[in-house]
Structures are given as structure tokens and as C-alpha cells.
Amino acid sequence: MPTAFIGHADCMKHDMGAYHPECPARLAAIDDQLISSGIAGVLQHQEAPLATAEQLARVHPREYIDAIRSAAPRRGIVHLDPDTAMSPGTWDAALRAAGAAVLATDLVVGGKADSAFCSVRPPGHHATRTRAMGFCIFNNVAVAALHALAGHGLERVAIIDFDVHHGNGTEDIFSDDGRVLMVSTFQHPFYPYSGTDHPARNMVNVPLPAGTGSQGFREVVERHWLPALEDFAPQLVLFSAGFDAHVEDDMAMLRLVDQDYAWVTQQVKAIADRHAGGRIVSVLEGGYALSALGRSVVQHLRVLGGF
């Protein structure tokens, strides 16, 4: 089954201002690299549906969802936190981003695709149950995880978060939930300054000092992530796929290169193949250096799809 590639034009209509790094051009940069690499033609392209209130409400209280909907401006920009804003197109984009994660889960768990990548924005891993922050509004990967658990009846789901920022929202949602194992690496100390203070047993958080490159990253993945994932034996693997730890990304100061994204995807895919029937859903998080983002997504997809 070909790898599904899920997106929607509405995700381009979320606009936090001319100089905001989390910009619509990120998705265009991914599309450009898919075309120039030649893999665009071998992916199964799908349009993201709008997430339903029920799907969002597995993660976020109804009052929070309603407050986000009410905050959406008719024109201009409204800030939800210093980094996170809504434009007139944001509400639909946010529903498409979460809806893509739901569709990806349906396709992969339902055997219609071996793996799926959601090329969507806004990203999600900083969104807690009740708070938008760090460019994130709804926690897309958490919506996918709970759709797999509650909607499809799976019992064990792993979340792999290699974004340069700690996925504090995902941790907030799943701390001490034994159905979920989250493994992550992140620059520390760095925004959002979380993840190191007595994490729950189901959180394998590995802080990395600024300047860490390929070798340091690969060592901690082998030492900390892979044994925990092997023991957990997930039935579905979800990636919170942020590409802002790339050396060319000046949002942060880790020094990964394109090939590290292929390598980490391969390591995790081997575990998914052993325990989860190869089922992998990947949801875009960060990544702000446009060329590096597009190239790294290609590396990730090449391994996911076996291209």
C-alpha cells in the first residue's frame, strides 16, 4: 500500500503575519521538494477532512474548543499567546490539521495505507488540553492517538517526537496514561523549558544541549528510545515530526542533517514492522528553514514509503 500524503489548501490560509516563521510557505517548500525528488507521483494524495467536535473533545474540553472558535477574527490577527495568533483562515486550518491526523489513523489502522504523513499547519505538540501556545492550537498528534485508542480500540500507541522543542502539550495530555509511550529529544534549556522535571514513567524525555549533532542524537536514540519502544511493543507508531533540529534551522541550535531524519525514521520503522504491522502515522510539527524542511521531509517519506 502506498504511503498516504494528507494535506489541504485551507492549511495555507492560516496566517500569523508577514514575518512569522510558522508561515504558509512551509507547506509549499515541502511540495516543491516532493516534486523535485520525484516522490510526489508515488504517494497516495488525500485531502484532509475537518476534524469533528467529538474527535477534538477526546483531547480538549468543549469550553476550550468553543473559546478558540469564538476567538477567530473576521479580519486581521488575534493573538492567543505571544507566539500564536489566529487569522480568518485559522479555524478551518486547525480543523483540517487535526482532521488529517484522524484520516491518517483511519487509513493506516484500516489497512488502506501502510503509513501516512500529514503535511499540515498549525502544528500541535505544544497545545495542552486547555491552552494554545508555541504556534499550536489543537494537539493534532494527540487527536490521532486518542482516535486510535478510543475510536479503533487499540491498546498501545507510541509517540515519537524529534522536534527541537519539547512537546509539552502532548506530555500534558498523556502523562501517566499507560496506553501511550512518548519518546522525545529536545534542546534544553530551551523553549518551552519543560520536560526535565520528574517526567512520568511513560515519558522518555531526552534533553540535548545546544550544539548536539548527528552522533549525539543517534546515541541517545539507541540508548533511550529504542529499548523503551521495544519493551512497549506499540500497535501503532505516531511521529510528531518537527524538523527544526536541522543545522540549517536558526530557530534553535541542534545540528542534525538531512540523513539523520532518514536514520531515525528507519530505526523506528524497524520497531513498527516488528510490533505494529508497520503502521506509522506522521504529523508535521516544526521546521522553519524552508529548504532543509522540504529535504528532510523527503528523507522521512523515502523511508516510510520504501522509495
Interaction site with Zn ion (CB under 5 A)? 163, 165, 242, 244, 286
Give the 3-state secondary structure of residue 195.
coil
Whole-angstrom Cα Rg for the chain:
17
Nearer to Zn ion, 92 or 163 (CB): 163
- Tell me how far, at minimum, the Cβ of 5 lies from Zn ion, in Å: 21
Q: Which residues of 171-183 are buried (b: 16+ CB within 10 A; e: fewer)?
A: bbbbeeeebbbbb
In the set 8, 126, 165, 246, the catalytic residue is 126
Residue 8 or 165: the one with the smaller Cβ distance to Zn ion is 165
CA 207, 211, 217, 223 dihedral sign is: negative
Which residues does residue 6 pair with via DSSP β-bridges, in sequence order?
Answer: 46, 118
Q: Which residue is nearest to Zn ion (CB)?
A: 286
Name the DSSP letter for residue 40. G
Q: Which of 61, 138, 64 is nearest to 101 (CA)?
A: 138
Beta carbon nearer to Zn ion, 117 or 232? 117
| Residue whose C-alpha cell reads 543545522 in the numeric block | 247
CB of 253 to Zn ion, least distance (A): 12
> Which of 120/272 has CB closer to Zn ion?
120
Count Cβ atoms within 10 A of the Cβ of residue 151 and give its class: 0-12 exposed, 13-18 middle, 19 or more buried: middle
Which grid cell is 237?
507508531
Helix locations, the chain, DSSP H:
25-37, 53-57, 62-71, 90-109, 140-146, 168-174, 214-220, 226-232, 258-275, 290-305
What are the C-alpha distances in Å from 27 to residues 92, 107, 143, 205, 297? Answer: 16, 22, 21, 28, 11
Cβ distance to Zn ion smaller for residue 242 or 278: 242
User: Hey, what's the cell of 50?
Assistant: 475537518
Measured distance CA(299)–CA(203) in Å, rounded: 26
- Residue placing its CB nearer to Zn ion in the complex, 83 or 114: 83
Euclidean distance between CA atoms 75 and 77, whole angstroms: 7
Is 45 catalytic? The answer is no
| Min dist. Cβ of residue 63 to Zn ion (A) | 27
Q: Which residues are catalytically annotated? A: 126
